Amino acid sequence: SGWYAGYVQNRFKFKDIGKSKETQNMIKAGIYNTKSFDDNGSLQWTISGEGFVGQNDMTRRFLVVDEIFKAKGNYYTYGAGLKNEISKEIRTTERTSIRPYGALDIEYGRFTDIKEKDGEVRLEVKGNDYYSIKPEVGVEFKYKQPMAVKTNLVASLGVAYENELGKVADGENKARVRFTEADYFNIRGEKEDRKGNFKADFKLGIENTRFGVTFNAGYDTKGENIRGGIGLRVIY
């Protein structure tokens, strides 16, 4: 068992006509507990709970007749999540291993009011909440290089498939044009995309029996999301 904390940056590119984009900076902190089901500790069940807060900077680009206009704004997100994971580590050599796993992530979050500050036809969107239920299956390839007593340099590459079953793309958001007397109107939300997401993650870090620090990079096929961040883990 132990606790962890981290920072991550997500960069999204949207497939609308104007090619809107958004950058999210987020910090997370949580606790976890791991239980082994065999003598050598290779088959494990890990349950973790975490809280998060983030800031999102967005540039909305939209087409009017034959010209692209844009508006910029930012907002905040916060929430909590619970994750269950079952994994099996298979040693292939003294320094390498393969870890297949299955996981279920449950998350509830909320975003604050969005008030676009710069650009044309600036909107104000009322804050709303969401929930996420996301099963995931994947495999991680890991390499360890000893550096000192009980201290290793660790590099890993993971590939996984996940599918969103919750309610994230909400069609009930309300917005109005800022600096006018116009009333709020309903924003037509996109249909929930159930096609799933393939993702890849690369981690490089140092770990021992008490703590670990990692640098992370990843890519999601859904949303063409590029991720990067740093994580800290403490074992007690």
38-79 pLDDT tens trace:
888 899 999 999 999 999 998 988 877 788 888 899 999 999
CATH number (domain holding residue 51): 2.40.128.130
- Rama region for 183: left / alpha / beta (φ>0; ψ in -120 to 50; rest): beta
**Residue 197 sits in which domain range?**
2-235
Q: Both tokens of residue 166?
A: 């919750």
The total domain count for the chain is 1
Closest to 117 (Cα-Cα) out of 74, 77, 60, 62:
74
163-199 pLDDT tens trace:
999 888 766 788 888 888 888 888 765 555 678 999 9
Pair 23, 234: CB distance under 8 Å = no
